[in-house]
Chains A and B, each alone.
Chain A
């Protein structure tokens, strides 16, 4: 059975990944809007 700390670390990594992905998408789509 995984400890709470392991699940916490995995969840944090997933969240930081999602956040970084959204930041990149935000920047890319903003450029897209400027082109328009």
Chain B
């Protein structure tokens, strides 16, 4: 219970700080405040896909269906947070680039990622036999995660992009965040991770209960 109260307080601080303190990128203006929500959403998406991959590996090693439940719930949350990051990025794009969608490398790569993990759930619904479904999904989740570092970090940095890339680390590789930005950004990372952990636990509880009910 204590950690839920801490989460409530920290996220409330993040929201208040994000709108009360100066905008993180003065050159971009008020729209840059979305940084406090957009980056943690993308961060949680990567963490969720990592959890899904690790649980899939564990399922293939020990055949425990609990691991498959974990992989499924984490992949679903990864998809949800990727979608949130896409929407928040799109709002930022509308304000700064005058268009919700520009086919910027960053936008295109996140769209590909959404399709890859959308296909994970299409695969799960296409296979009806539970054991076979779990095995195929686990193999797919491992291969799907291989694309995540490339789509989230490599491709958007290799190709020319309008996406801001100096918010955390500048071109010389040194830490570029002011103290005012840090006191909101890092709690935001922690708070979004906390929300993810909470949702993950709830999702796993429900998924496992549903599976056991079907198996009975």
Report if B28 contacts A (CB, 8 A): no
- Docked Cα-Cα span, A22 to B15, in Å, equals 18
Encode A1-27 as 1/0 by CB contact (under 8 A) with B: 000110110011001001100110110
- Docked Cα-Cα span, A15 to B8, in Å, equals 9
**Is B202 within 8 A of A8, CB to CB?**
no
- Mostly, the A contact residues are helix
B199 interface neighbour in A12, A22, A23, Cβ under 8 Å: A22
User: Please, which residues of chain B bring their CB within 8 A of the CB of A15?
Assistant: 11-12, 15
User: Please, which residues of chain B bring their CB within 8 A of the CB of A32?
Assistant: 205-206, 209
User: Please, which residues of chain B bring their CB within 8 A of the CB of A25?
Assistant: 202
A22 interface neighbour in B12, B20, B33, B202, Cβ under 8 Å: B202
**Is A8 within 8 A of B199, CB to CB?**
no
**Is B4 within 8 A of A29, CB to CB?**
no
**Is B19 within 8 A of A33, CB to CB?**
no
The chain B residues found within 8 Å of chain A, CB to CB, are: 4, 7-8, 11-12, 15-16, 18-20, 30, 33, 195, 198-199, 202, 205-206, 209, 212
10 shortest A-B CB distances, which residue pairs?
Answer: A8-B19, A29-B205, A4-B19, A11-B15, A25-B202, A32-B209, A12-B15, A19-B8, A29-B206, A29-B202
The chain A residues found within 8 Å of chain B, CB to CB, are: 4-5, 7-8, 11-12, 15, 18-19, 22-23, 25-26, 29-30, 32-33, 36
